[in-house]
Structure 1
Amino acid sequence: MYLSPAVSQPPSEVPPEEAAFLKVVTPEDLEAVPTGLCQELQGYMDCTSGKKADIVFVFDTTGSMGGEIDEMKSISKAFADNLASSGIDYRLGLTEFRDFDYDCGGPSPCGGSDDFPYRVYNGGTLTGSSDTFKSWIDGLSLGWGGDEPESILAAMMHTAIDQKWRGGDAAKIVILITDAPAHPDGDRCNQEGDTLNSVISDLAAQGIKVYAVGPDEDSIKTMTFETGGKFYLIRSGVNLAPILEDITGIISCSFDIVADVSCDEGALEACVELKGREGLTIPYSPGYTEAWIFVACPEADSRRYDLEYDPERNAYCAVVDPVCGGEAGTVEVTVYGRVCGWSAVERFPVDCDRCPEPCLIVNAGVNKLIYNYGNAVYYNVSVANNQDEKRRIAISYGYVDPTPKTHIIGTFMPDIYPGDAYVFADFKVLDSFYSGKYVFFATATDVHSPDCSASDAMQFWVVEADGERELIPAKGKPV
């Protein structure tokens, strides 16, 4: 078992003959047939079963993107037809972006009066009609964009949360096409306050993979690497058709993630197997196969942890202890796996409450009551059964006096039904006590499951003044 680094690492070095398959940067690379080990690993891919894929284009329509828009208008229907002929049950969506219409006196305005940071088409409802998708693309027109960076982070964030992705086994894919970098974290033009980490967190929370055609810019490449996607370098005259064909080929073949993710006493343990066709285990190959997780803590961005290969388990494993600072509750774990240029993703909700739900709940209390024959210490006890069946519970209660000496007052063995509580009371006259600190206690144990046991206690003081004894309850339970 391994504790993985909390900070994501760059991809391992690979031989030059494999590099083109792992990261395509030119159109020529797209035509290269994968060789060597990646070609062997391709034999483990499932390239026959029917696939489902939700694919959303995130398209830059600022002034310099005219050529790419024209090309998309000509090839968008062919792309959808290629998806259908590859046996993929697809849905298509579109998010258009330019930049925020904002100028605060900086060196140049973020965008112009006709610009906008994002526009989610069709209210986020994806379409299975290639004609409908082509009509959206045909309606694209050029804006301005102001300064060089654009509102990529806002567009990606709203794509993750506003597009209406299908659930189940449908792959979620974003294809980002831009020739501009993203506004950096904290930039004046980031009007919604998005950061690269928060956007990656939103993408991972949905199990989205990002494929980007863009400039050689760190934030765009990081989004693709962190989500199991692929980066393509955009340049003058680049042809989008083979890039889209390459993406179609990648999603036509798949593998499965089989994960054992659990949480115990605030520590998250994850072990992941990569399974190919017919349940075959994909062999571990350094630099070619890897797995990692994103852990989404309540009210916080996701954090990436790399999984390390454990040869004894034939799995990629990590322990995160404590997870979410030890106060996790329910966390969402997104598991990514990569085999050469293919990737897979699965999501798992995990209950990471440090304290499990108790099987019994015991409450003990005391107070002073006035009876006709004098002052009394009144004891009250409640024992609730949190289990899912009737149980016989052994209950004892008593007190520890100041000497200290333990006094058992009484015992019971009632049958308590699930969700019910056994409540009782008793009293002793104060004259039987002397001055000092007392502890009243009650314990309950499942007769047939002794490990199921609970107790409660509280302190109180008896003081004597002018010949009268008085009970003074403590504030809170004893330490």
Structure 2
Amino acid sequence: MKKIVFLSFIILIFAFGCVNIPTLPKLIPSDPEGVTKPSPASYTDFDFYLTIDKNPFLVPISVPDYVRLKINIPDVQNLEANELKVFEDDKAQGFLLFKETETRNQVDIMIVLDTTGSMYNAIEGVKNSVQNLIETLQASGLDAKVGIIPFDDAVPSKDITLTPNWLDLSDAGSAKDFVSNITAYGGADFPENPYAGIMYAFNNASWRASSQKIIILITDASAHYKSETYPGDAEGETLYDKDKVIDTIQGFVTVHGAFIPGYYYSSTDSEDFSAPEDPREIVVETGGIINYTDSSGNVDLTNIGLIEYISSSWIVAFESDSPNATHTIEVFIEHDGAKGYKKLENINY
């Protein structure tokens, strides 16, 4: 039988004042008995986003086998625990369900932006989209910071001149000023280095401990990667294979993608993003949203994982008692008469 987990919540005192932490239910229910796993074939009415969650809460949890999932259902503002069934390695789980904003009241967004010559026709649309996003964040009242990392074959970009050459998480005004000075130039061969851009953001941004952490990747190019035979113009640069990126950031950062259609990307592409040069798999594996701009780079970035995503995000918490090294997690949701299903495989806690 599972242990009963007690969560104690406190008021954190900061140098500039106090933050009241909403209280959550105080224990994880025991695993339900006699629950039969439904057939996924009957849970196809809607899609949702699911990933493992490893980010810290404002108050740490000391139980070593405490597991969290992050669920996002677009356009759904209210979700009840009795609308979910959660299975770990085919065993039904008792769990807590709560809005992510109840435990993380800050939002940190790093924009990883392709600034190469092939982006020339799209860069103004992209810049306008980023500016609109920043203005929306300002108007939302969220405690949000934005940073920007330009990239080409190198990270930060070596072919355009900016001072500084990237912007750490900053206030809205600084982010808007930085974006206004970005141009599109260089890049030489078609693939660029988005994997290094994502890792640079993950490793170097001044992420706040209790924030929701978001990366937005904007590009029209496929990726150079470490194990490719001929890295072209990325020779000598820091390179990563995609599986390394996923293993490192999964559970800590959600990556959303805005892809400019053209030679490599199309909104009619299949959902097989497993090719080593395709960064869309990173978006899928971190629970993010894939969107496509128009040919001029225009896209409503507020709809690809930010204001709406934040307000439609829940945390599922359960206590694992499985001895497996990796796990399969399945979530079944029935909401307003519609059913959805998602599965995570080969998950490490």
The answer for the alignment partner of 1:53 in structure 2 is 107
- Tell me: CA distance 1:231–1:194, structure 2 relative to 1, closer, same or farther (3 Å): same
Question: Residues 122 and 296 of structure 2 are in contact (CA less than 8 Å); yes or no, is this contact kept in structure 1?
Answer: no
Distance 1:93 1:182 in 2: 22
The structure with more strand, counted as a fraction of residues = 1
The counterpart of 2:122, out of the listed 54, 68, 79, is 68
The counterpart of 2:247, out of the listed 201, 205, 211, is 201
- Indicate yes or no: 2:140 matched with 1:86: yes
Question: Residues 54 and 173 of structure 1 are in contact (CA less than 8 Å); yes or no, is this contact kept in structure 2?
Answer: yes
Distance 1:157 1:269 in 2: 24
Distance 2:250 2:329 in 1: 17
- Indicate yes or no: 2:342 matched with 1:290: yes
Distance 2:75 2:308 in 1: 17
- Tell me: CA distance 1:230–1:39, structure 2 relative to 1, closer, same or farther (3 Å): closer
Distance 1:12 1:95 in 2: 42
Q: Matched residue of 2:153: which SS?
A: coil
- Tell me: CA distance 1:185–1:282, structure 2 relative to 1, closer, same or farther (3 Å): same
Q: Matched residue of 1:54: which SS?
A: strand
Matches within 5 A, 1:248-287: 248-261=307-320, 267-268=324-325, 283=334
TM-superposition CA deviations, 1:300-355 (whole Å, max 9, x none): xxxx625xxxxxxxxxxxxxxxxxxxxxxxxx73xxxxxxxxxxxxxxxxxxxxxx
Matches within 5 A, 1:100-179: 100=154, 114=159, 121-122=166-167, 124=168, 126-127=169-170, 129-168=171-210, 170-179=211-220
Percent of residue pairs bearing the same amino acid type: 23
Q: Matched residue of 1:83: which SS?
A: helix
Question: Residues 226 and 241 of structure 2 are in contact (CA less than 8 Å); yes or no, is this contact kept in structure 1?
Answer: yes
Question: Residues 328 and 343 of structure 2 are in contact (CA less than 8 Å); yes or no, is this contact kept in structure 1?
Answer: no
Distance 1:305 1:230 in 2: 21
Taking structure 1 as the reference length, the TM-score comes to 0.43
Higher normalized contact order (CA 8 Å, seq sep 6+, divided by chain length): 2
Cα displacement (A) at 1:114: 3.1
- Tell me: CA distance 1:238–1:18, structure 2 relative to 1, closer, same or farther (3 Å): farther
The counterpart of 1:229, out of the listed 267, 288, 299, is 288
RMSD between aligned alpha carbons?
Answer: 4.0
Question: Residues 145 and 172 of structure 2 are in contact (CA less than 8 Å); yes or no, is this contact kept in structure 1?
Answer: no
Question: Residues 77 and 130 of structure 1 are in contact (CA less than 8 Å); yes or no, is this contact kept in structure 2?
Answer: no
Structure 1: which 5+ runs fail to align? 1-10, 23-37, 102-111, 275-280, 293-303, 307-331, 334-479
- Tell me: CA distance 1:120–1:270, structure 2 relative to 1, closer, same or farther (3 Å): farther
Question: Residues 60 and 98 of structure 1 are in contact (CA less than 8 Å); yes or no, is this contact kept in structure 2?
Answer: yes
The answer for the alignment partner of 1:211 in structure 2 is 256
Distance 1:133 1:289 in 2: 38
User: Which amino acid in the other structure matches residue 78 of structure 2?
Assistant: G
TM-superposition CA deviations, 1:416-466 (whole Å, max 9, x none): xxxxxxxxxxxxxxxxxxxxxxxxxxxxxxxxxxxxxxxxxxxxxxxxxxx
Equivalent pairs, count? 244
Taking structure 2 as the reference length, the TM-score comes to 0.58
Q: Matched residue of 1:73: which SS?
A: helix
Structure 2: which 5+ runs fail to align? 1-39, 50-72, 81-98, 260-264
